[in-house]
Structure 1
Amino acid sequence: MLKNINPRSLILVLLGSMVLSFGLFNIHSFSGVTEGGGLGLTLLLDHWFHISPAVSGFVFNMACYAAGWRILGRVFIVYSILASVGFSLSYSWFESMGPLWPHIGETPLFAAILGALFVGVGCGLCVRAGGAPGGDDAMAMSLAKLLKVKIQWAYLASDLVVLLLSMSYIPLNRIGFSLLTVLLSGQLIGIVQEFKLPRWLRGTKGSAINS
């Protein structure tokens, strides 16, 4: 299995997880604009139970990866675990530094677009490498294969469920911005996955999610 691990893909996974954690901490956690799926769930737990996404995200991801081990494949799992560890460590580092834009919530439209940019690029780099920074990616693929549905419907379902739960602490008008950032980040993930990277960074093209 180790002979199938691409060093350039490892770089993309670590870079992507750092970009993602930067956006989640500095934008989403201070703007009132949340993400769907596992990312939104970590913010929900952070708000109501004061559980850091560095902890809840790691536990959630490990549970999803363990459940989907046989379906996703071993190389995908290796990249995904690395992405999860990289996300947790970098998020903790950003927490220790403090927020760069503590008042970004005053401009929710800007926060939604900027947040989608970081999430889309961060997740897109990880997906391009052949892994996933969040357990919801593993969960969505497993559900899609088990239920014989397209994977985008599995993603959309998880996003909508989390957004509905997030209405318990996010005003309705902010949920609209959250829906915007979810839709934009999803499109950006696809764009980054197909974007032509510098040769030294070209790892495994495509993703096990789409296989």
Structure 2
Amino acid sequence: MKIREKLKNMNFEKRRLPVSSRITQQTLINIVTIIVGSFLFAIGVNTFMIAGNLGEGGVTGLAVILYYAFDISPAISNFLMNAVLLVVGFKFLSRRSMYYTIVVVILTSLFLWLTEDWQIQTDQILINTVFGGLFVGLGIGLVIRIGATTAGTTILARLVNKYMDINVSYALLFFDLVVITIGLTVMTLEQVLLTVIALYIGMKVMDFIIEGMNPKKAITIISDHPDRLGKMINSEIRRGVTIMEGRGFYTQADKDILYVIINKNQLPRVKRLIKHYDENAFVVVHDVNSVLGNYFI
């Protein structure tokens, strides 16, 4: 716990490197994370997915299809297609994210080239499926966690969101499904279905890396006994509670609304306690992607 508290109190964003006053320690950590993430991504694609004649989603998936069809190196096609997309969609990325994304595109293409011959041949295709999804999800998760993107269909998804008002995640899923469908021209139906399994595993691993080992939940509570519930959460769950003023539309009655952030593993206990103290309370549980600030421990 002491080590964790020390790391939490160290502000890497403001600590400058001795060799350069413009580069912070956090920037160096981000660059190292991008290198590791790009390398793991390349391992997942070459060592497991291509070795098992499986596909991928997004631009890398198109690069794999071109490799199967025309024997074009995925490193070259991945770089060229992502470069075009970066030119088209650069205005949809922040300046910081743009710089990191350019580095990610260069590194992933470089590592895809360096690891072209790193292939594990096995008769158990599930090994390629599981570990391919694991390494790809781990690599992408590390890249996204520090605020960068993997370019590719992420930029297309943002364009669709801007001009067609479609959720980014749904747009990403659509493009991945399109790429997988195109993969039927060079892969069997079995290989395509195994690719879908690998993508699902990669998504879950990516979520785990981004959210952490203990994701958070936000709870909104509307109760006739807000003080009683607030004291209960403070004393038994040991979490701070925010009270917001609200008013019912139909009754026009004023209500105090409780808002609290908890760890996911505390949710069952909180639900039981709320039901015990006020079984008529209206409770809404929200997913939380990240929690910033020093008020949550």
TM bucket (normalised to shorter chain) is 0.7 to 0.9
Tell me if structure 1 keeps the 8 A contact 2:46–2:119: no
- How far residue 3 of structure 1 moved from its aligned partner, in angstroms, is 6.7
Task: Give 1:11's match in structure 2, choosing from 2, 14, 32.
Answer: 32
- 1:70 alignment counterpart: 91
Task: Give 1:151's match in structure 2, choosing from 148, 162, 168.
Answer: 168
Spell out, residue by residue over 1:109-147, the C-alpha distance to the aligned partner (whole angstroms, 9 max, x if none).
221111100110000000111112342222222322332
Task: Give 2:188's match in structure 1, choosing from 147, 162, 171.
Answer: 171
Q: Does 2:122 align with 1:99?
A: no
Whole-angstrom distance in 2 between the partners of 1:142 and 1:57: 20
Q: Does 2:179 align with 1:162?
A: yes
Q: Does 2:204 align with 1:183?
A: no
> Where does the alignment leave 5 or more consecutive residues of structure 2 unmatched?
1-21, 214-288, 291-297
Q: SS in structure 1 opposite 2:44?
A: helix
- How far residue 188 of structure 1 moved from its aligned partner, in angstroms, is 1.7
So what's the TM-score if we normalise by structure 1? 0.84
Q: Kindly indicate which of the two structures has a greater share of residues assigned to helix.
A: 1
Q: Does 2:70 align with 1:49?
A: yes
Q: Does 2:144 align with 1:127?
A: yes
Structure whose CA Rg is larger: 2
Whole-angstrom distance in 1 between the partners of 2:68 and 2:209: 30
> Where does the alignment leave 5 or more consecutive residues of structure 1 unmatched?
197-204, 207-211
So what's the TM-score if we normalise by structure 2? 0.61
- How far residue 67 of structure 1 moved from its aligned partner, in angstroms, is 1.2
**Which aligned segments of 4 or more residues in structure 1 are displaced greater than 6 angstroms?**
2-5
Question: Structure 1 vs Structure 2: percent identity of aligned residues?
Answer: 24
- 1:138 alignment counterpart: 155
Q: Kindly indicate which of the two structures has a greater share of residues assigned to strand.
A: 2
Tell me if structure 2 keeps the 8 A contact 1:39–1:134: no
Whole-angstrom distance in 2 between the partners of 1:66 and 1:74: 13
- 1:110 alignment counterpart: 127
- How far residue 6 of structure 1 moved from its aligned partner, in angstroms, is 2.0
Q: SS in structure 2 opposite 1:167?
A: helix
Whole-angstrom distance in 2 between the partners of 1:37 and 1:75: 23
- Residue identity opposite 2:126 in structure 1: L
- 2:233 alignment counterpart: none
- 1:38 alignment counterpart: 59
Matches within 5 A, 1:15-26: 15-26=36-47
Tell me if structure 2 keeps the 8 A contact 1:63–1:135: no
Whole-angstrom distance in 2 between the partners of 1:133 and 1:67: 15
Whole-angstrom distance in 2 between the partners of 1:172 and 1:9: 39
- 2:106 alignment counterpart: 85
Whole-angstrom distance in 1 between the partners of 2:70 and 2:197: 26
